[in-house]
Every structure is written in C-alpha cells, then in structure tokens.
Chain A
Amino acid sequence: MVSRFDQQKTKHQLFHVSISLATILICMTYMQYRRNWAHLGSFWDSLIVPIVFIGELLKVILARFFGRIEDGVLTAKQRQKKAAYFTPRELLGGLTLQFLCTLLYAFICIILGAPVLANYEQTFVLSLLMTLLTVSPTVFLLGGGGALQVCFCEKPDFITKCEDTALHLFKYNALGGILGAWAGSVVAPLDWGRDWQAYP
C-alpha cells in the first residue's frame, strides 16, 4: 500500500487533487468574504476567474514538472512534438481554440435559457470560467493541435505517460465542471426570490 504512494503517477494525482481542492477553498473563502454574490458574475469586479486561472496553471506546471523526470525515455516523435509547443503557430492556434470555446459556451448558455443580450457580461464570465475549467489545461499542456487530436483521435502516439495521467485528471475536471454547471441551472424554475428561500 505504502509503495503505491511512492509511484510517480500517484504522487502526481495527489498533488493535482490538492491543487483543485485549494482552488475551491480559496474561491469559497473569497465568496464568503464578498458577502454579496450579485457581483460575482462581473468581469472586472470579481477575483474568481483569476483564482481559477492560477489554479489551472499550477496544475499544468505540475504536469510539466513530473514530465521532466521521464525526459530520458521519450521517442523521437514525442520529442519533436514537444519542441513544437512553443512555436508562434501553436500558440496562436491554442488561443484561437480557447476563444472559440468561450463563444461556444456562451452559445450553449443562451440556448439553455440565459438572456440573449441582457446580462452579456455574466454570460461571458460563465463561459470563460467553463473554458478555463475544461479546455484550457489541455491546451496549455499540449498546444492547440494536440488538444484537438486528444479530443478526436483514438489515442495519439505522441502522448507521454505523464501527460496521459494529467489528461485523465483534466477529463474528470472538465466533466465535473460541465455537469455541475448543468445541474446547477436545472433548478432555475424554483422561486428563489421568495424570502424564505433566499440565501442568508
């Protein structure tokens, strides 16, 4: 049992989960501190997006850190791919992908009942948050093209072992984010406005 915790993979997973938990805790503390939740959805006046962004960035750095250890055992293709991450082309592709994703999430929000234009800022922040939670980590890790391939190919061969672990974790992250957002808005018909239902 003890030996399992010594494995690289398990360590990686544990650190990853603790970063997630820390992000959530910081967000909750921040919400508690702000009291008035009406401003949480505004872009300039809320720290939620930066906090989540830093959290996700830390997770990517973690994956990179563990990835360094296995640098010696990479195949030629993996090396070649890795070198290509920081070319301007890949960077641009990644940014475009994230931007498109944000638009897509905004579209979904509107289709599922968000007001079309009235609260555009809140809708935008929500879709930004969703993008940060779902697409961004993968893009930061693998670049735009890599992320697309992971999404649509059976199993690309340039993925290293460590990246595979991280991708699994990111997948659960994304699924949880989407399902949570969806389930959170099913209850919209409940009349939260009534005084006995309002949050204290």
Chain B
Amino acid sequence: MEEHRSRLAYTFYMLTLFLGGAVLFLIGFFPASYSVAEKEPFISIHRPTTLYDEKLNPPPASYESFILFLIDALRDDFPTEHTMPTVNERACLKLSLHVDIPTVTMPRLKSITTGTLSNFIDIALNVGHTEQLDDSLLHRLKQRQAVVSFIGDHTWVQLFPSEFTRQVANNDSFYVNDFYEGDRTVTSALAEELEKTDWKLLILHYLGLDHIGHVEGNDSPRIETKLREMDDAVKKILDHKNMDNYLLMLTGDHGMADGGGHGGNTPAETTVPLYLYSKNCSKYSSSTKRYNQIDLTPTLAVLLSVEIPSMSIGCLIPEMLQSLTLEDQMYAYFYNAHHLLNKARVKFGYESVRRSDYYHWYQNATLLHKQLLKPLRAGDGSGASNVHYQNAKLNYLRVAREISAQLSESLVKFDYGFIAVGLTLTTASTLHLLLSVLFLDIASEKLRLQNFKAAQLLLSLVIGALLNVACHLLDIVLTSSMLNSLLLLVPIVASIYLSIDVIQALTKIALPPLYARRLKLSIPLPIPLLLCFAIRMGTLGSSSFIEYEYKTWYYLGNTLLLLTAFKTLRRRITKANVELDGRHLYKIASACLWQQRKIFVVLLLLVLMRYLHRLSAIKSTLMLFSLLMFWARLRKFTNTPQTVFNGVAFVLVYCFRGLNGQVKFVELPSYMVGRILLPVLVLFWCCVALVFVLGYRTVLPQQSTGKNLLDERPKSNLLKLLQTNMTCSLILVALLYKVQNVVLLPTMLITLDETYKLCDAYGSTARKFSVRVVHVYKIILTLVIARMFYFYQGNSNSLSTIDLNPGYMGQTSYNPGIVAFFVTLNTYSAEIHSFLYLIVHTLRTDLRSVGIIQLQPPYSRAIDTLVMPMYAALVLLPVAFYLCLMLVFRYHLFIYSVFSPKVLYDCYTVLVFYLVFLSTSLYFKFFKHDA
C-alpha cells in the first residue's frame, strides 16, 4: 500500500524551472537587439566627398516636401481602379515591396526608418514595450534641423519620442473596434498641416483598414468604403494648392492575410504596394519589379539629402531616382555601395572583403564613375558616356545587392550561452518530472528524486559558480551587469542539480543493483497511446506538419478514440459470449454495439466540427441550440439557483450577439442598440458574479454549523469550488467565443464525458483491472481532445490567426491586462477547460458509483499523485523536445516563418497551463483538509 503523498508542490517547482529555462532559451535564441552587439566605430557617418581625389558633391534634396502616406495592412491587391481610382490614375509609378517577417506594425516601422531587418522577437514587443532607436532617417533629419511632422498612430511616437517637430498621435492603436474615429482625426490634422508649408517630411499613418481586417476579415464590405476614404485623403493632398514640388509615397507597413489578421508569412501578408506621386512626373509606369521594404530607407535618404542610417542594409530603388541628374544618380549608387562595403568590412573583415567578387565589381564601378565625372560635368550626354554610365550603375547595383543579401543572412546571431543553459534546464526538469511520474511508487525511496539533498545542492553550487566564471572569462556568456551574472547562477545551479538527479536515476534504472530486481515502471504504457505520442513528436520535425498541425491532431485523436471504442466493443462481446458458447452472436454483437452508440455519435460530431466554418448560414439557430445544450450540460455542475442565473446569462449572451447584428434578433433602431448594449453586458457580469457567489456560499454553512451536513463526503467542498470556477469561466467563454464557435463548448463537454465513460468501460472489461490504466487513458485522451478543439476553434501555428476581437468585448478603450486575459481565455479555452474538467471528473467519480466500486487505492486519490503530475509531464515533454529541435534547425530556411511562431505558441501554452495548474493547486492546498 503506497503512502499517499501529494506531488503538487514538486510538480509546481518543476514547471517553474521549466518556464525559467524556456525564457532563457528564448532570450538566447532571439537576442533582443542586434545593435548592442555590434557597435561599428569604423564606419564614418558622413557622406563620402572624394573619389580617387576627385571631388564629389552630395546632391541636394530633390523635392521640397515629402509625404509618407502609410496605410496599415494595405495589401497588394487592395488598390484597384475600382476601389481607389485617384490612387491608380495619378500615380507616377507603382512598385511592389517585399516585407520581411514578422509582419506586424512596430518591426515594420523600424525597418522603414532604419533600413535593417527586424528581429523576430519584436513581434512580442509589438504590444506594449518599445525600445527607442539610436539612428534612423528621422534622427538624421533632426540633426539638420529639418521640420518633420507626424500624424497617426502613437507607435511612431514611442519609437521616436523627440524626433518629430510636431506630432498628432492617436493613443488607441490597439483598440481594434475603432474603425473610423482615429482616421478622421488624422485626416483633419492633415488639413491643418497642409496649410503650413514649413515641413520637409510629413508622415501619415492610418490604422482603420487594419482594424477592419482584424474584426471583420479581409472580405468585409467596409474595406471598400475605407479604401475610398483613403483615396479621398490622397486626392486632397494631390489637389492642394500649396503642394508644389513634392513626393508622395503611398504604401502599407504590412499586408493582410486571408482571414484578416497578419503576422505570418503568406504572400498576401508580405507584399505591399508602393505608389509614387509628384507634380512633374513624366508618365505612369507600372513596374512588376519587386524590391524589399528596407530598400526604401537608403533611397529616401538620398532623396532627402541626408546620410544613410548606419544600420541600413538595403539597396537603392533606381526607379525612384529618375528625377536626379546623371551625376547625382551616380553619386547615389556610389554612396550606397560604399556604405554597404564598409558594413561588410566590419562584419566579415577587410581581408575576406578584398578577396570577394563584389570588391572587384566595386573597383570597376568606381573607375568608370571617375572617368564619367568629367564628361558629365561638361554636360556631355554622348553615347560613349551613356554606356559607361549604364555599366557603372549595373556594377554598383550588383555590389549592393550582393552585400545586402550576405548581410541579411549573417544578421542572425544566437547567444549560445543562454541557449545552452535554457535547454539544459528545460530538458532536465522535463526528464526529472517524467521519471518521477513513470516510476511513481519508487520515485521517492529508491530513486530519491523528490527528496531535497543539501550536499548535492552545495556541490552543484560550486560547479555552477566555477562554470559561470569560466564562461564569463571565455566570453561565451555576455551579460550587461554584475547582477545579471549573479542571477545567471540560479538557472545554472538548478540545471546542474537536476541533471545529477536525472543521471543518477537513469543509471539506477539501467543498471539495477541486483539484476533480478529490475526497477519496474509503475505506470502501464499502452502501446497505441505511446505510438501516437511518438508520431506526434516525430511530426514536429517537418515544417509541413507544423503548418497543418490540426490535421495530425484530428487524425490521431480520432484514431485513438476509434481504437479504444473497438477494443472495448470486442472485449464486451467476448465477455458476453463466453457463457453463451457461440449462440446468438448476432444479437450479442448488435446489443453491445447499441450500448456504445454514444461514442459513435460523438465521433460523428467530431467530423461535423471540421465543417464548422461552413455553417455560418444557420448560425443563429446553431447558437441558440448550442447555448441550450450547454446550459443543460452545465446543470450537472450547479445547484438550482445557479442554473437559473446560468440560463439568464446565456440569454444575455444571445441578446448581446443579436444587438451586434451577428445573429437574428428583434430589429431595433440604432440609437436604442447603443443604449441597451451596455446594460446587457452589465447584467451578464452580474449573472456571472451571482453564479460565482452562490457557488462559494454553499461552502460556508458547512464550516459554521458543520453537523447538519454530516452525510456529505469530504472533499465535496473542494469539488464545489472547482465546479463553480469552471462554470463561471465557461460562461465567460460563451460570451467571448465567435458565434459559430459556441457549439464547440457543449460538444467538448459531451466528448470528454463520453470518452471518460468509454475509458471506464475499457478498464472494467479488461481481464486484470487496473486503475492506473484508466487514469493514463483518460489523461492522454483529454490532452488529445483539448488539442483537437483548440484547432477546431480556428487556431493555428501562425501568428495571424490570433483572434483579437474578444479582447475588446464591451470595452471602449485599450486596456492591456484585460485584452491579454480575454484573448488568452478565448484562444486557450479548450485546453484550460478540459484540464479543469478532468480534475472535476476525477473528483466526482469518487462521489458517485462508477460500477467499479471498492477501488484500492481510491480513485480520486490519484489526482495529486498521478493525474496532475502526469498531465504536466505530458504537456512539457513535446515542448522540451521541440526546443531541442529548434537548436538543430537554427539555420533552417523556415526557421523564422514556421518554426519560431510555433515555439512562441508552445511556450505560451506552458505558461497558461502553469497558471491554471497554480490556481488549481492552491485550491487543493487550502481546501483539502477542510472537511
């Protein structure tokens, strides 16, 4: 008889260590900025003024005023003759720009102004935190006391707090329900700005289009009206009387994916148009050539007559330089090539640059350039010099292109010190947890995994300190301050401590002291489950499998359910058949099949869920029906008053959707809708609060009177509290979910319920009954079903499918905390609630009779020794494996487009699980000994 010990605290420590390791890994894998690592003292920031002793004059600015007209999420196919007539007709030139990942606003703005590629992790910093830049076009303009004016989104102001002379910023760039208000402010500020004539550069940033995309998708009818509005704004600028010698650039910072979001790397997201307008343009020409977005920076620098920002690695866009004289054009090409060559020298060393191809091209070009200077200055545009000119230009351009490509490849830098520490910590903690779960009964006595050993800690402290010092001396790990170095000691020591434990345990398992007494696994591992898990781990190595991860899950999940169902069916028939000796087999088989009809219905439901997105035609009916089902399901977990308020809350959810026009509802005038919407939401929250309070109140009288409820079993307090929590968060999710997704909630509860019944039947029909088999099946199937519903909901491994709408449910401003909470709850609702449901189910099973009574040890006791630790281990294992894979794949072609978003998703999944686990464990700690 095993001693009952809670493993919650131990699991909690392991999860904490894992998360710490994952954070370290991410820091090492995505260094926060490139510029800190490479200061470039050798590159002179001034423009070159001589070429082989020949004097060169940097050209003056070619236009008096520049306007950068940015429309957020302007996709390449949005501006057509139909949607934006002015934009199309009056353009001098149209180009396509290729945008680098990540396709979110802040990194894109950095790229446009500094000309460097952005870091992948900027995608996480896009929300909230913004670092200020050292050098950019705007810094250079400020040095020259040019007037720069800005109107638009406040991300710019965060990036450039003091570079603008005048600024009008909208403060609600993340409040996506604002379609028109912000843009109207920009347009009215634009009118004022056009009256003034002192500015050299005017930056406009319109956010409305992006917001419409996020909320309504890319085929919303509002997109057309919004494009029309943008068209009018452009027209207004072009027709203004003060506009004389100007260059207007209309472009998008990133595109829009087919669902309306952005952040991924589909062509729709990474291609944006660039339209150019000026007064005296020769003719409209549309070039099919594609340039990079970072090419805009050096080109603009030349046109504005400022220095190219030191970090820029773009090439020039020749089409934009047509207005310059030949001499100035030559100078521009020479300047950019010179700049890039200097960067290459710093990066690759003088010697390797001198031996490279592009250095010869550069020399060729400069010689030709020098020869050209005299005829050009004499005004001789003859044929010979034209040939020379073309030749030099081509050479300069290919030098730039070559170096630019090489530099952008070598921009990736990994911090191997952090990666090693993080990876060791994650792997060690995962293995530690896994071993202690697998060898459950002997983990504490024989393997001594969960005991704290002071001597070992001391030893690892010494080794860790030595390692830390050694690494610092060898420059493997670079930290900015002494404190950071000391802090780094903690993960190093922890990983050494865990590694020693793991190695000791593994040796004990592999080489038992007495061969006859081999250490046995305490947990049965059924082969099909193991196989599916192995296949799932194997698929992580392929980018296609990651892009279509949902297919893997649907396939494996359904396979497991089918397999379990058929095995149970066969066992049942065989069992029933033993007594009857082969007679009436048809009848027995059909009777057993009929007994299991529900699981087959569930399987059909799961098939139906795949086609959920096609059901939008009947979504009102579907929503009503699913809310009703959901309410009926939740009745199992609530008492009567709670049930009533549940019902009211669901009615209010439907009203809210109806008022928003997403489902069929009574037609109301719009002023009424605005007034009713808020009370509906307030009432909804009141209902949720009431359900919550009612649930918690049932616990109280037991504490005070204590005697009249003696017949209730212990632990029911804990169960009631957990049920209340789950009910409340499920009601909340019903509000947050998209209309056609609401049906997923009752379906998930039904599926889990039927699966658990199936597992019970499977266990009880086995020849040798074992509780642990049932537990293992339930845990793994819960995990699989959670993932399936996570993907049914429309999530994927691309960052563009994160649904931001729920974050703004009923809010009028941007509040980062609430938005993050709501979006997380919406995205991960399947995983959070199936975990909670498993816990509640395991606790309840003890209270009612399953058919298998008198279990030794009691069923629900396993919850903190087996269920929760094993669930945690199974959540961690694929993530730890994936982190190792990331290290192997670090130079993979798709590392930033496919693998990196997945790693962020995975780490966030662990974080969410960690929080849920923490809150559940706290309940266990406080209410366990209550009764």
B585→A149 contact, CB < 8 A = yes
User: Measured between alpha carbons, how far is A103 from B4 in the docked complex, in Å?
Assistant: 49
B562→A152 contact, CB < 8 A = no
Q: Is B375 an interface residue (CB 8 A)?
A: no
The interface residues of chain A lying within 8 Å CB-to-CB of B600 are: 107
B559→A182 contact, CB < 8 A = yes
User: Measured between alpha carbons, how far is A103 from B721 in the docked complex, in Å?
Assistant: 46
A191→B544 contact, CB < 8 A = yes
B552→A189 contact, CB < 8 A = yes
Q: Is A112 an interface residue (CB 8 A)?
A: yes
- Shortest Cβ gap from B131 to chain A (Å): 38
B544→A112 contact, CB < 8 A = no
User: Measured between alpha carbons, how far is A154 from B582 in the docked complex, in Å?
Assistant: 10
The interface residues of chain B lying within 8 Å CB-to-CB of A154 are: 574, 578
A113→B554 contact, CB < 8 A = yes
User: Measured between alpha carbons, how far is A189 from B551 in the docked complex, in Å?
Assistant: 6
Given contacts A154-B574, A154-B578, contact A188 B585 (CB under 8 A): no
| Max count, chain A CB within 10 A of own CB: residue among B574, B604, B607 | B607
Q: Is B894 an interface residue (CB 8 A)?
A: no
Within 8 A of A (CB), among B591-617: 600, 603-604, 606-607, 610-611
- Shortest Cβ gap from B538 to chain A (Å): 10
A188→B551 contact, CB < 8 A = yes
Given contacts A108-B562, A111-B606, A188-B555, contact A152 B574 (CB under 8 A): yes
Q: Is A25 an interface residue (CB 8 A)?
A: no
A112→B551 contact, CB < 8 A = no
The interface residues of chain A lying within 8 Å CB-to-CB of B582 are: 149, 153, 156
B interface size (C-beta, 8 A): 32
B585→A148 contact, CB < 8 A = yes
Interface flags, A73-89, vs B, CB<8A=1, else 0: 00000000000000000
The interface residues of chain A lying within 8 Å CB-to-CB of B555 are: 112-113, 185-186, 188
Q: Which of B544, B586, B607 contacts A111 (CB 8 A)?
A: B607
A186→B585 contact, CB < 8 A = no
Q: Which of B539, B545, B586, B607 contacts A116 (CB 8 A)?
A: B607
Within 8 A of B (CB), among A142-169: 145, 148-149, 151-154, 156
Q: Is A110 an interface residue (CB 8 A)?
A: yes
The interface residues of chain B lying within 8 Å CB-to-CB of A191 are: 544
Q: Is A190 an interface residue (CB 8 A)?
A: yes
Within 8 A of A (CB), among B567-585: 570, 573-574, 577-578, 582, 585
Given contacts A111-B606, A154-B578, A182-B559, contact A189 B570 (CB under 8 A): no
User: Measured between alpha carbons, how far is A40 from B118 in the docked complex, in Å?
Assistant: 50
Report how many A-B pairs have Cβ atoms within 8 Å: 61
The interface residues of chain A lying within 8 Å CB-to-CB of B589 are: 148, 152
A148→B551 contact, CB < 8 A = no
Interface flags, A58-70, vs B, CB<8A=1, else 0: 0000000000000
The interface residues of chain B lying within 8 Å CB-to-CB of A189 are: 539, 544-545, 547-549, 551-552
The interface residues of chain A lying within 8 Å CB-to-CB of B603 are: 111
The interface residues of chain A lying within 8 Å CB-to-CB of B542 are: 190
The interface residues of chain A lying within 8 Å CB-to-CB of B585 are: 145, 148-149, 152
User: Measured between alpha carbons, how far is A186 from B573 in the docked complex, in Å?
Assistant: 30
B574→A153 contact, CB < 8 A = yes
Q: Is B9 an interface residue (CB 8 A)?
A: no
The interface residues of chain A lying within 8 Å CB-to-CB of B547 are: 189
Q: Which of A112, A153, A156, A186 contacts B558 (CB 8 A)?
A: A112
- Shortest Cβ gap from A74 to chain B (Å): 18
Interface flags, A92-114, vs B, CB<8A=1, else 0: 01000000000000011011110
A111→B574 contact, CB < 8 A = no
- Shortest Cβ gap from B532 to chain A (Å): 10
- Shortest Cβ gap from B681 to chain A (Å): 39
- Shortest Cβ gap from A93 to chain B (Å): 8
The interface residues of chain A lying within 8 Å CB-to-CB of B588 are: 152
Within 8 A of B (CB), among A108-137: 108, 110-113, 116
B545→A190 contact, CB < 8 A = yes
Q: Which A-chain residue is minimally distant from B571 (CB atoms)?
A: A152
User: Measured between alpha carbons, how far is A186 from B578 in the docked complex, in Å?
Assistant: 37
Q: Which A-chain residue is minimally distant from B588 (CB atoms)?
A: A152
Q: Is B535 an interface residue (CB 8 A)?
A: yes
User: Measured between alpha carbons, how far is A188 from B551 in the docked complex, in Å?
Assistant: 8
Q: Which A-chain residue is minimally distant from B582 (CB atoms)?
A: A149
B559→A153 contact, CB < 8 A = no
User: Measured between alpha carbons, how far is A152 from B603 in the docked complex, in Å?
Assistant: 24
User: Measured between alpha carbons, how far is A144 from B582 in the docked complex, in Å?
Assistant: 13
- Shortest Cβ gap from A184 to chain B (Å): 12
Q: Which B-chain residue is minimally distant from A183 (CB atoms)?
A: B535
User: Measured between alpha carbons, how far is A152 from B581 in the docked complex, in Å?
Assistant: 10
| Max count, chain A CB within 10 A of own CB: residue among B544, B578, B600 | B544
- Shortest Cβ gap from A98 to chain B (Å): 14
A152→B573 contact, CB < 8 A = yes
The interface residues of chain A lying within 8 Å CB-to-CB of B554 are: 113
Q: Which of A111, A186, A190 contacts B535 (CB 8 A)?
A: A186
Given contacts A110-B607, A111-B562, contact A190 B577 (CB under 8 A): no
User: Measured between alpha carbons, how far is A145 from B535 in the docked complex, in Å?
Assistant: 38
User: Measured between alpha carbons, how far is A149 from B589 in the docked complex, in Å?
Assistant: 11
The interface residues of chain A lying within 8 Å CB-to-CB of B607 are: 110-111, 116
- Shortest Cβ gap from A38 to chain B (Å): 21
Q: Which A-chain residue is minimally distant from B570 (CB atoms)?
A: A152
User: Measured between alpha carbons, how far is A110 from B570 in the docked complex, in Å?
Assistant: 22
B558→A111 contact, CB < 8 A = yes
The interface residues of chain A lying within 8 Å CB-to-CB of B578 are: 154
The interface residues of chain B lying within 8 Å CB-to-CB of A188 are: 551, 555
Provide a sorted-by-A list of 27 A–B residue pairs whose CB atoms are within 8 angstroms.
Answer: A110-B607, A111-B562, A111-B603, A111-B606, A112-B555, A112-B558, A113-B551, A113-B555, A113-B558, A113-B610, A116-B611, A145-B585, A145-B586, A148-B585, A148-B586, A149-B585, A151-B570, A152-B570, A152-B585, A152-B588, A156-B582, A185-B555, A186-B535, A186-B552, A188-B551, A189-B548, A190-B542
| With A111-B558, A189-B547 already in contact, 20 other A-B pairs whose C-beta atoms are closer than 8 Å | A111-B603, A111-B604, A111-B607, A112-B558, A112-B562, A113-B610, A148-B589, A149-B582, A151-B570, A152-B570, A152-B585, A152-B588, A153-B582, A156-B582, A182-B559, A186-B552, A189-B544, A189-B548, A190-B544, A191-B544
Closest 6 CB pairs of A and B: A189-B548, A189-B551, A152-B573, A148-B585, A190-B544, A149-B582
